[in-house]
Amino acid sequence: MTTVHNQAQKGDIADLVLMPGDPLRAKHVAEKYLSNAKQVNSVRGMLAFTGSYNGKHVSVMGSGMGMPSIGIYSYELFDHYEAKKIIRIGTCGAYLEDINVADIILAQGACTNSAYTSQNRLNGVYAPISDFSLLLAAYEASQKIVGSQRNVRVGNVLSSDVFYTIDPDEWKKWRDMGVLAVEMEAAALYFNAARLGGKALAILTVSDNLATGESSSSEVREKSFTQMAQIALELA
Ligand code: HPA
């Protein structure tokens, strides 16, 4: 059985799914790291692959950009395909001056300006957080994989619905609350994990810094993306 957005059969998806935003990045991770990788989805171009890494089954699928997109795909992966762990691997814009491009951020929590996480009408505000066992394992793996080449930070991010904000200084209020960086998906992923009994983590590399105006070259981006994928694969 498939879903409206995913033509994979139920057993085609592994317990661990890596989700880069870009489906071509999913193809790249599958080609570079998975053995016997098989493409299991191409509906709407949202490529998904399943193969093995160190003898363990792993899937990798694009999430698209933004919370509605990752919200749909991760919901179906947890609910219909019974995935156990979803790791977003993506980029973020840092808010703090002392965070360098290509540093890695493990999103312990995800604040949001999106209505996605208020859909269950709790009598208050739900705080989307990552799974601690995944966070700890990713932190430990990152120390081995990244070493002293770049910093690994753990903390809060903002999952924003808006990339092109009207107010250019809006981000400073989040920075003043100690939020490390902005991206556009983690809060919906964490919300779905909580709702459906799955585990989730967002591992992010810093592609640009809003405080310093720095942005990374394509080679730096590629190298830090590779390390991020390696950290995520250690979670299988
Ligand atoms: N905003 C939102 N998402 C991002 C950014 C940003 O500046 N950089 C990388 N992902």
- Which residue from 23, 167, 153 is spatially nearest to 97, judged by alpha carbons? 153
Whether 111 is in the pocket of ligand 1, judged by its Cβ within 6 Å, is no
Pocket test for ligand 1, best of 25, 207, 220 (most atoms within 8 A of CB): 207
Spatial neighbors of 202 by CB under 8 A, at least 6 apart, are 87, 88, 89, 90, 106, 107, 110, 130, 157, 183, 185, 186, 189, 190
To the nearest 10°, the Cα dihedral for 101, 104, 107, 108?
-130
**pLDDT of amino acid 147:** 87
Which ligand 1 atom is at minimum distance from the Cα of 160?
A: 2
Global confidence as pTM? 0.97
pLDDT band at 17 (very low <50, low <70, confident <90, very high): very high
pLDDT higher than 90, residue 10:
yes
**pLDDT of amino acid 219:** 83
Whether 91 is in the pocket of ligand 1, judged by its Cβ within 6 Å, is yes
208 is catalytic: yes
pLDDT higher than 90, residue 134:
yes
pLDDT, tens only, 197-221 = 999 999 999 999 999 999 988 888 7
pLDDT higher than 90, residue 27:
yes
Q: How far is the CA of 1 from the centre of ligand 1 (A)?
A: 36
Q: Rounded to whole angstroms, how far apart are CA atoms 86 and 19?
A: 7
Query: What is the DSSP-derived secondary structure letter of residue 129?
Result: B
- Closest CA to ligand 1's atom 10: 92
Average pLDDT of span 218-227? 84
pLDDT higher than 90, residue 26:
yes
HSE (side-chain half, CA atoms, 13 Å) at 122? 10
HSE (side-chain half, CA atoms, 13 Å) at 65? 8
pLDDT, tens only, 68-106 = 999 999 999 999 999 999 999 999 999 999 999 999 999
Q: Rounded to whole angstroms, how far apart are CA atoms 189 and 112?
A: 12
**pLDDT of amino acid 149:** 85
HSE (side-chain half, CA atoms, 13 Å) at 44? 13
pLDDT band at 228 (very low <50, low <70, confident <90, very high): very high
CB 126 within 8 A of CB 191: yes
